[in-house]
């Protein structure tokens, strides 16, 4: 009985220490990436190539999701607002929800699923097939050559994708509210224009998406780089990328929002 | 100038409690092709990683060109590695780059050569391994033997003084094996390099190397020229060279007595 208790406690301690070690490794990995970024930014074609893979190839899923999220917001918002006779405010509702929350958050979640998993699997497989080792033996640091360009590509892509998401989402809301339901066109846009603040709403949304961009990309890169070099290891790492990125994004969103709303 | 480009003295290395090497001594004279042989899991590949400075020994030292590898700074190790080329077991080609770009990779990373010069050099290297015509293929379109040859072209891209081969024959058909054997020998002699070949293919290796080290249980159990070893009386070498199933290297992994194992109830 006592033995069992001790083993149980030891298990908890072991897991906790393990997690903290990993966190430390991830932090060191992040700092090394930053320190070695200079070289990859000088060879900008590497960053551009990766931006194409993480950013441009994510466009379709972002655009389609944004359109549907915007349309659903239009439907739900109208349904509720008309009970209070303020259906003209639908434009404000759609725009604020998207710019402040849904744009950055949903984009980050989609990004983790679309681009994050691809990054983890690619780097994990490069490790499993000794490509990273080969690079090291050629006196080329894989963090500078492989990791840093992907990091900057993710950091550049995320705010742009989030901005695009908000824009398409507003358009989706417009499609439902104005042509379909018949809300006044002028009221839809003018109310939106007067109620959405540049500093308070848009800039805060951009800050969020920048933070999510750093977090999602670092998690994806680290999970790939840290994955055991086996098929099983890479598959677990890919799963962890999605789970950890999603949790980190949702948790950080709460923290950031609470600071922004004071 | 020292006659040996790589010297290993009393080298010990292990992961955690498992001691992989227990005091290994080796010499790799300039211009020679030297093989490190031993069973699977005897830590042969690890020796290459120790020479390349990817791992640190727990005791003893590896000297490359007179410099103790594990005492060098990261930058100095990188400088040492520029004198080395390594062929990985399955080539380890960069899957996102074409054959041409794979071979050009070390040149683009480490030299300021113009693209036209790089093109000439890459074609020269690819021609040496007979794959000039495959320059536009991607690694996924190559057979095992071909990717090994491309990886070899990449390993010698900067004319290294030391070329290391990790299991260069693993999983190859006899023709490709013959091709690789010729390439290792010819490249070594043409470049005036020193080659270190880690392998367990007795037949191919004995035919073309200058010197052989046998590693077992973390120590060098035998060494000599192929002829010395073929006539060796040592039981391990005899078992290895003639591929006998049982001998000093037991067929059975360490296990409790078979009869007692069977008699024990299924769930003790």
- The answer to whether residue B213 scores a pLDDT higher than 80 is yes
Question: Is the pLDDT higher at B237 or at B114?
Answer: B114
Mean pLDDT score of chain A, rounded to an integer? 93
Q: Per-residue pLDDT averaged across A10-35, rounded?
A: 94
Task: Give the confidence band of B221 by pLDDT, cuts at 50, 70, 90.
Answer: confident
Q: Per-residue pLDDT averaged across B24-52, rounded?
A: 88
Task: Give the confidence band of B227 by pLDDT, cuts at 50, 70, 90.
Answer: confident
The predicted structure's pLDDT at residue B265:
67
From CA B63, how far away is CA B77, in angstroms rounded? 12
Interface of B with A (CB under 8 A): 52, 54, 78-79, 81-82, 84, 86, 88-90, 92-95, 105-106, 109-110, 151
Q: Select the residue of B79, B84, B92 nearest A133 (Cβ to Cβ).
A: B92
The reply to whether A140 touches chain B by the CB within 8 Å rule is yes
Question: Is the pLDDT higher at B238 or at A239?
Answer: A239
The predicted structure's pLDDT at residue A57:
92
CB contact under 8 A, A133 and B93: no
CB contact under 8 A, A139 and B79: yes
Question: Is the pLDDT higher at A43 or at A206?
Answer: A206
Q: What is the pLDDT of residues A64-103, one digit of tens each?
A: 999 999 999 999 999 999 999 888 899 999 999 999 999 9
Task: Give the confidence band of B1 by pLDDT, cuts at 50, 70, 90.
Answer: low
Q: Which of B49, B81, B92 is the mutation pick for testing A, counting most A CBs within 10 A?
A: B92
Q: What's chain A look like in SS3?
A: CHHHHHHHHHHHHHHHHHHHHHHHHHHHHHHHHHHCHHHHHHCHHHHHHHHHHHCHHHHHHHHHHHHHHHHHHHHHHHHHHHHHCCHHHHHHHHHHHHHHHHHHHHHHHHHHHHHHHHHHHHHHHHHHCCHHHHHHHCCCCHHHHHHHHHHHHHHHHHHHHHHHHHHHHHHHHHHHHHHHHCCCHHHHHHHHHHHCCHHHHHHHHHHHHHHHHHHHHHHHHHHHHHCCCCHHHHHHHHHHHHHHHHHHHHHHHHHHHHHHCC
- The answer to whether residue B230 scores a pLDDT higher than 90 is no
The predicted structure's pLDDT at residue B266:
60
From CA B152, how far away is CA B128, in angstroms rounded? 10
The predicted structure's pLDDT at residue B235:
80
- The answer to whether residue B267 scores a pLDDT higher than 60 is no
- The answer to whether residue B256 scores a pLDDT higher than 90 is no
Question: Is the pLDDT higher at A33 or at B237?
Answer: A33
Which residues on B lie below 8 Å from A125 (Cβ)? 95
Q: Per-residue pLDDT averaged across B192-213, rounded?
A: 89
pTM of the model: 0.86
**Percent of chain B topping pLDDT 70:** 97
CB contact under 8 A, A137 and B82: no
Q: What is the pLDDT of residues B34-44, one digit of tens each?
A: 999 887 777 88
- The answer to whether residue A174 scores a pLDDT higher than 90 is yes
**Percent of chain A topping pLDDT 70:** 100
The predicted structure's pLDDT at residue B179:
87
Contact B28, B7 (CB under 8 A): yes
Task: Give the confidence band of B74 by pLDDT, cuts at 50, 70, 90.
Answer: confident
The predicted structure's pLDDT at residue A62:
95
> What are the start-end ranges of the E strands in chain B?
4-15, 18-29, 33-37, 59-64, 67-68, 84-87, 162-166, 194-199, 211-216, 219-224
CB contact under 8 A, B54 and A134: no
Q: Which of B75, B93, B109, B166 is the mutation pick for testing A, counting most A CBs within 10 A?
A: B109
**Percent of chain A topping pLDDT 90:** 88
Residue of A nearest to B76 (CA): A139
The reply to whether A79 touches chain B by the CB within 8 Å rule is no
- The answer to whether residue A155 scores a pLDDT higher than 60 is yes
Lowest mean pLDDT across A64-78, A108-122, A245-259, B162-176: B162-176
Q: Per-residue pLDDT averaged across A233-252, rounded?
A: 96
Most confident of A168-177, B200-209, B251-260: A168-177
């Amino acid at each position: 009985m006592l033995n069992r208790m001790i083993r149980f406690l030891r298990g908890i301690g072991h897991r906790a220490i393990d997690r903290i070690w990993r966190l430390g490794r991830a932090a060191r990995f992040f700092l090394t990436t930053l320190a070695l970024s200079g070289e990859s930014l000088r060879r900008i074609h590497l960053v551009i190539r990766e931006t194409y893979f993480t950013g441009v190839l994510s466009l379709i899923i972002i655009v389609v999701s944004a359109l549907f999220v915007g349309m659903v917001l239009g439907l739900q918002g109208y349904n509720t607002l008309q009970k209070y006779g303020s259906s003209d405010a639908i434009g404000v509702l759609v725009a604020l929800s998207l710019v402040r929350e849904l744009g950055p958050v949903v984009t980050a979640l989609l990004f983790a699923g679309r681009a994050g998993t691809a990054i983890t699997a690619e780097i994990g497989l490069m490790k499993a097939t000794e490509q990273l080792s080969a690079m090291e033996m050629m006196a080329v640091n894989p963090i500078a050559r492989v990791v840093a360009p992907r990091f900057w590509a993710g950091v550049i892509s995320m705010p742009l994708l989030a901005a695009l998401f908000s824009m398409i989402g507003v358009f989706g809301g417009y499609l439902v509210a104005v042509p379909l339901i018949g809300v006044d066109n002028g009221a839809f846009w003018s109310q939106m224009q007067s109620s959405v603040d540049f500093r308070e709403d848009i800039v805060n949304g951009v800050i969020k998406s920048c933070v999510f961009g750093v977090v999602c990309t670092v998690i994806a890169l680290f999970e790939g780089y840290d994955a055991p070099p086996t098929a099983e290891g890479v598959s677990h790492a890919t799963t962890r990328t999605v789970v950890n990125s999603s949790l980190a994004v949702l948790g950080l969103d709460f923290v950031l929002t609470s600071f922004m709303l004071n | 100038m020292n006659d040996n480009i790589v010297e290993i003295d009393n080298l010990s290395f292990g992961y955690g409690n498992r001691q992989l090497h227990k005091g290994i001594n080796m010499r790799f004279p300039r211009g020679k092709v030297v093989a490190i042989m031993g069973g699977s899991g005897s830590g042969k590949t690890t020796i290459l990683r120790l020479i390349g400075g990817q791992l640190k020994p727990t005791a003893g030292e590896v000297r490359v060109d007179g410099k103790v590898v594990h005492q060098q700074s990261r930058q100095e190790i990188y400088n040492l590695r520029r004198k080395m080329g390594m062929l990985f077991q399955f080539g380890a080609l960069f899957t996102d780059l074409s054959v041409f770009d794979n071979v050009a990779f070390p040149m683009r990373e480490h030299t300021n050569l113009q693209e036209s010069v790089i093109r000439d050099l890459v074609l020269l290297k690819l021609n040496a391994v007979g794959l000039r015509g495959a320059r536009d293929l991607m690694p996924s379109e190559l057979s095992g033997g071909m990717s090994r040859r491309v990886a070899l072209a990449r390993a010698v891209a900067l004319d290294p003084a030391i070329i290391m081969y990790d299991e260069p024959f693993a999983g190859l058909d006899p023709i490709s094996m013959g091709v690789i054997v010729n390439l290792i020998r010819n490249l070594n002699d043409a470049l005036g390099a020193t080659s270190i070949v880690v392998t367990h293919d007795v037949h191919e290796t004995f035919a073309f190397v200058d010197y052989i080290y046998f590693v077992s249980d973390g120590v060098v159990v035998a060494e000599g020229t192929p002829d010395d070893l073929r006539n060796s009386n040592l039981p391990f070498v005899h078992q290895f060279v003639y591929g006998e199933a049982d001998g000093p290297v037991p067929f059975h992994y360490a296990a409790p007595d078979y009869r007692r194992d069977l008699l024990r109830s299924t769930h003790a």
